[in-house]
Amino acid sequence: MTALARPQPRILPGFSLSMGITLLFLCLIVLLPLSGLLWQLGQLGPGDYLRVMSSERVLAALRVTITAAAAATAINGVFGLILAWVLTRYRFPGRGLMDALVDLPFALPTAVAGIALVALYDRSGWVGQLLEPLGIQIAYTWWGIVIAMAFTSIPFAVRAIQPAIEELDRDEEQAALTLGATGRQMFFRVLLRPLLPSILTGIGLSFVRSLGEFGAVIFIAGNMPYETEIASLLILIRLDEFDYPAAAAVAGTLLALSLVLLVAINVMQNRLQSYLRSEG
Amino acid sequence: MAKPILIALALMFLAAMVLLPVVAIFDRAFAEGAGAYLAAIRDPETLAAIRLTIIAAMIVVPVNIVFGVAAAWLVARYRFWGRRALLILIELPFAMSPIVAGLCFLLIYGAYGPVGAALEPYGIQLMFNLIGIVLVSLFVTCPFVMREILPVLQVTGEAEEKAALTLGANGWQMFRHVVLPNISWGLAYGTVLTMARAMGEFGAVSVVSGAIRGRTMTLPLQIELLYNDYNATGAFAAATVLTLLALVTLVLRSVLNRFGPNREAHA
Amino acid sequence: MSFEALDIHKSFGDTPILKGVSLSVAPGEFVALLGPSGSGKTTLLNIIAGLAHADRGRLVLDGRDITRLPAGKRRFGMVFQSYALFRHMTVAQNVAFGLKVMEGARRPPRERIAARVGELLEMVELPDLADRYPAQLSGGQRQRVAMARALAIDPQLLLMDEPFSALDAQVRQSLRGEVRALQKQAGVGAIMVTHDRAEAWALADRIAVMDHGRIVQFDTPDALRDDPATESVRSLVEGVA
Ligand SMILES: Nc1ncnc2c1ncn2[C@@H]1O[C@H](COP(=O)(O)OP(=O)(O)OP(=O)(O)O)[C@@H](O)[C@H]1O
Ligand SMILES: [Mg+2]
């Protein structure tokens, strides 16, 4: 805490230089743009803000975004846990490839992911062809948005859960088994509880990521106002109409939502961890 | 018992969700044959987009390296007021919607924003050109280098650096001969990640690029343009370029995981 | 070179760690800093090396005040507790480092550096391991490399923080004599931190006994035995001499 104004120079050289570079970069690239958004929101005033936000189209876009993100997160919660478990606990041929595949959605540019998903799920795509006779359509519907969001956020779920599984106490599992716990009891008591903080973190991160996803979604979404139009796209549309205040209002809301969630994840993680520890 | 079922489930999920879409890209790119594919790649607009994307990345990557190394050094080696806030600020761009990010830049650096308006009389325009693309790319790649180096610095500790100091090294010599070799693997991977992300960013760039055909179209924007023009081969051919970049990133990651020193630090 | 530390104070937060420590090293003298764990030995050594700042007190080298001189300008050779060898440099590069980073005019030409490194490795009896990396060395070999590296800069004072603590008893015994011989040969004053009273007795011209951030007695081994200043020094001495 005895920070910047200490009379004696620090032992390791480079404090002023690295502080200067870091602050300069953060000011120009992060802080100033963020303040740009705040500035625009400030000019808007609460009345205008509420008027923008209460429009049918904005509400519909937020509803579509949030429900789809929730559905994608549910999928990733289940499969993220399975993937993390399989990758940490089992050794089998092809495991390395599987591990790399998990990161692919992170490495793949979102626009590429977007057109790839359409190519797969539209009427002529490999999966779309199969589903069409059954009367199921994914591309250009709400489900398409869910698939795209699930795709881009898989790595976040898996990588958040993995370290916790690595740390799990195997002895405890063995003890539970020898004490006659059934597989299901063991799963819920011995496994799920200590994993809970990181599972919640994983799905939280995956939800935040889904809320903001754009490139992967817009190609497959259909983008019909009120039905398959996500919040990010609506911001872009308002921008193209030079309606900066409306764009800023929706953007501010989306940003606030993400930030609240991130802080909540952080706080919850700390709380749960200390709670679990105190339970011993 | 559970093991084969779980492995099968995991495999099926990954194959359907991740592998299949990537295969589909190549399938569509080559749907009209290899000749059409090559012609699509050699399209002048696509080549211009590739060129612009590379130029932007060549500016973004070195700047991000300087920032990432400086920030990691600062956070790993010093305690100061506001250190935690700094860390959160660096991670923030990662959690933001790219569209919101692009909008933020437009609102401050655009013609109607305070900074943009102040610079306009001097004929300086920051948005809808290469500068704008570089700025938002710096934003979206902000934590990548720093995040790879920080844990390495924390694990290696200060002892070698202090030893170098007692032996008479100055700050630059200590950095060059002791710090840099220790962080080189993390730096390499962070650089690759930054490059891949800078070349692949779509949402934020689409807000600030202005999308002038053949002039301010990066490769991802060009893919969208071709796709909306119903030029499927063109769009997917361009997409294969970025897909290969992503695959190279992944290969490098596993190489570094296997052979790089100190990777256990990342657990 | 004579060295003096005068009335050094140091606190971490509100906890005083050094409460007015004074110490002197005559030219060529070997001083042992002996004391229980947590008594502040490493802290004091770091302050002397320039790797930490004292809150109060002065450091004097040959009459010159060096309190605020940066570590790199002091030319004190330091052997760290964990050796802190450069892991990505070979043994030879480790030893050469201090010569290579010297400023323009003072830096010896390349051949001279190579010759000096060869000499030093000869001296610590490791001439064959010049191209190995630290990870490929045993504990005792690492200790010798650290020693050679510290001596390479022709130090004005040699500082050693528990140089043998990572070694087993046998290696420790044999290295002790060597270190003392090397120090004599280099003609340099030395301060060695240690837990081990036998080690202090075997090596030191004078021993500074530290406890709770103070030096309770600073004298020759014989004087400590004949005239212990406190009960704690008396119990320390018993059974050694
Ligand atoms: N950076 C620090 N911050 C806070 N307290 C510290 C710090 N470094 C050392 N201390 C405290 O100062 C005291 C003296 O530490 P020091 O390392 O000098 O002891 P020592 O005599 O070298 O012990 P040992 O023989 O175990 O190495 C200890 O109580 C330690 O906890
Ligand atoms: Mg110590």
Least confident of A158-162, B232-236, C87-91, C168-172: C168-172
**C63 located within any domain:** yes
Bigger pLDDT: A178 or A62?
Answer: A62
Q: In 3D, which of A215, A110, A117, A152 has the Cα closest to residue B242?
A: A110
Which chain B residues have a beta carbon less than 8 Å from that of A85? 6
Q: Do B243 and A112 touch (CB under 8 A)?
A: yes
Neighbours of A24 (CB within 10 A): 12
Which chain B residues have a beta carbon less than 8 Å from that of C50? 165-166
- CA C206 – CA C198 distance, rounded (Å): 13
Q: Are residues C50 and C108 in the same domain?
A: no
Neighbours of A133 (CB within 10 A): 7
Q: Are residues C2 and C33 in the same domain?
A: yes
For the stretch A15-23, contacts whose Cβ atoms lie closer than 8 Å and that sit 24 or more positions apart, written own/partner, are: A15/B74, A15/B77, A15/B78, A17/B70, A18/B70, A18/B71, A18/B73, A18/B74, A19/B74, A19/B80, A21/B66, A21/B67, A21/B70, A21/B71, A22/B67, A22/B70, A22/B71, A22/B74, A22/B86
**Complete DSSP assignment for C116-184:** HHHHHHHHTT-GGGTT--GGGS-HHHHHHHHHHHHHHT--SEEEEESTTTTS-HHHHHHHHHHHHHHHH
Of ligand 1's atoms, which has the minimum distance to the CA of residue C35?
A: 21
**C204 located within any domain:** no
Structural domain count of chain C: 2
User: Whose Cα sits closest to atom 24 in ligand 1?
Assistant: C37
Which of C9, C12, C53 best probes binding to A when mutated, by most A CB atoms within 10 angstroms? C53
Give me the percent of chain A exceeding a pLDDT of 90: 59
Please, which pLDDT band fits residue B265 given cuts at 50, 70 and 90?
Answer: very low
Q: In 3D, which of C92, C94, C95, C90 has the Cα closest to residue C133?
A: C90
Q: Are residues C143 and C220 in the same domain?
A: no
Q: What is the pLDDT of residue C228?
A: 87
- CA C5 – CA C9 distance, rounded (Å): 11
- Closest residue, chain B, to A249 (C-alpha): B100
Tokens of B77: 């080696």
Angstrom distances, CA of residue C63 to CA of C45, C56, C153: 20, 18, 21
Name the packing angle between helices A56-89 and A32-53 (round to 10°): 130
How many residue contacts between B and C have a Cβ separation below 8 Å? 64
Q: Are residues C81 and C58 in the same domain?
A: no
**How many angstroms separate the alpha carbon of residue C42 from the centre of ligand 2?**
4
Within 8 A by CB and 6+ apart from B123, the residues are none
Q: Would you list which residues of chain A are within 8 Å, Cβ to Cβ, of chain C?
A: 8-9, 11
Within 8 A by CB and 6+ apart from A61, the residues are A225, A229, A230, A231, A233, A234, A250
Bigger pLDDT: A1 or C139?
Answer: C139
Q: Are residues C87 and C61 in the same domain?
A: no
Containing structural domain, residue C103: 75-187
Tokens of A54: 């209460």
**How many angstroms separate the alpha carbon of residue C41 from the centre of ligand 2?**
6
Please, which pLDDT band fits residue A5 given cuts at 50, 70 and 90?
Answer: very low
Assign residue C118 the CATH number of its domain: 3.40.50.300
Give pLDDT tens digits along chain C (241 positions).
799 999 999 999 899 999 999 999 999 999 999 988 889 999 999 999 999 999 999 999 999 999 999 999 999 999 998 899 999 999 999 999 999 999 888 899 999 999 999 999 998 889 999 999 999 999 999 999 999 999 999 999 999 999 888 788 887 888 888 889 888 888 899 999 998 888 899 899 999 999 999 999 999 999 988 888 888 888 877 766 5
Q: Do A9 and C70 touch (CB under 8 A)?
A: yes
Domains located in chain A, CATH noted: 49-279 (1.10.3720.10)
- C241 in reach of chain A (CB within 8 A): no
Q: What is the pLDDT of residue B264?
A: 40
Q: Phi and psi at residue C210, in whole multiples of 5°?
A: -105, 145
Containing structural domain, residue B259: 35-266
**C208 located within any domain:** no
**C118 located within any domain:** yes
Q: What is the pLDDT of residue B1?
A: 57
- Which SS3 state, helix, strand or coil, does residue B260 take? coil
Please, which pLDDT band fits residue A279 given cuts at 50, 70 and 90?
Answer: low
Tokens of A111: 């626009």
Edge-to-edge order in the sheet of strand C56-61? C15-25, C3-12, C56-61, C64-65
Q: Is residue B129's pLDDT more than 50?
A: yes
**B117 located within any domain:** yes
Of ligand 1's atoms, which has the minimum distance to the CA of residue C44?
A: 18
Q: Are B103 and A235 in contact (CB under 8 A)?
A: yes
Assign residue B198 the CATH number of its domain: 1.10.3720.10
Tokens of C78: 């330091």
> Average of pLDDT values for B191-217?
88
Q: In 3D, which of A35, A39, A36, A68 has the Cα closest to residue A233?
A: A68
Cβ burial of A1 (10 Å; 0-12, 13-18, 19+) is exposed
Q: Is residue B212's pLDDT more than 80?
A: no
**C148 located within any domain:** yes
Residue-wise pLDDT for A249-278, tens only, equals 999 999 999 989 988 888 887 787 777 777
Q: Are residues C169 and C81 in the same domain?
A: yes
**C9 located within any domain:** yes
DSSP A9: P
Q: Are C131 and C91 in contact (CB under 8 A)?
A: yes
Q: Are residues C116 and C163 in the same domain?
A: yes
- CA B153 – CA B145 distance, rounded (Å): 12
- A156 in reach of chain B (CB within 8 A): no
Tokens of A49: 């803000």
- CA A63 – CA A164 distance, rounded (Å): 33
> Average of pLDDT values for A229-238?
95
Pocket test for ligand 1, best of C8, C12, C194, C199 (most atoms within 8 A of CB): C12
Least confident of A137-146, A179-188, B193-202, C109-118: A179-188
Q: Are residues C60 and C82 in the same domain?
A: no
Sign of CA dihedral B224, B229, B231, B234: negative
Q: What is the pLDDT of residue C241?
A: 54
- Which SS3 state, helix, strand or coil, does residue C11 take? strand
> Average of pLDDT values for B38-51?
93
Q: Are residues C79 and C168 in the same domain?
A: yes
Structural domain count of chain B: 1
Least confident of A168-177, B39-48, B93-102, B142-151: A168-177
Angstrom distances, CA of residue A201 to CA of A207, A278, B92, B261: 10, 20, 16, 28
Q: Are residues C69 and C106 in the same domain?
A: no
Q: What is the pLDDT of residue A262?
A: 86
ipTM of the complex: 0.92
Q: Are A189 and A176 in contact (CB under 8 A)?
A: yes
Q: Is residue B66's pLDDT more than 50?
A: yes
Q: Is residue A6's pLDDT more than 60?
A: no
**C200 located within any domain:** no
Q: Is residue A134's pLDDT more than 70?
A: yes
- B265 in reach of chain C (CB within 8 A): no
Q: What is the pLDDT of residue A145?
A: 96
Q: Are C188 and C29 in contact (CB under 8 A)?
A: no
Q: Are residues C124 and C180 in the same domain?
A: yes
Q: What is the pLDDT of residue B266?
A: 35
Edge-to-edge order in the sheet of strand C206-211? C76-79, C157-161, C189-194, C30-34, C206-211, C214-219
For the stretch A49-53, contacts whose Cβ atoms lie closer than 8 Å and that sit 24 or more positions apart, written own/partner, are: A49/A249, A52/A245, A52/A246, A52/A249, A52/A250, A53/A249, A53/A250, A53/A253
In whole numbers, what is the pLDDT of chain A averaged over residues?
88
Beta C56-61 vs C3-12: how paired, if at all?
A: antiparallel
Give pTM, 2 decimals. Answer: 0.90
Q: Are residues C119 and C80 in the same domain?
A: yes
**C67 located within any domain:** yes
Residue-wise pLDDT for B103-122, tens only, equals 999 999 998 889 999 999 99
Q: What is the pLDDT of residue A222?
A: 87
In whole numbers, what is the pLDDT of chain B averaged over residues?
91
**B24 located within any domain:** no
Which of A58-62, A95-99, B111-115, C210-214 has the largest mean confidence?
A: A58-62
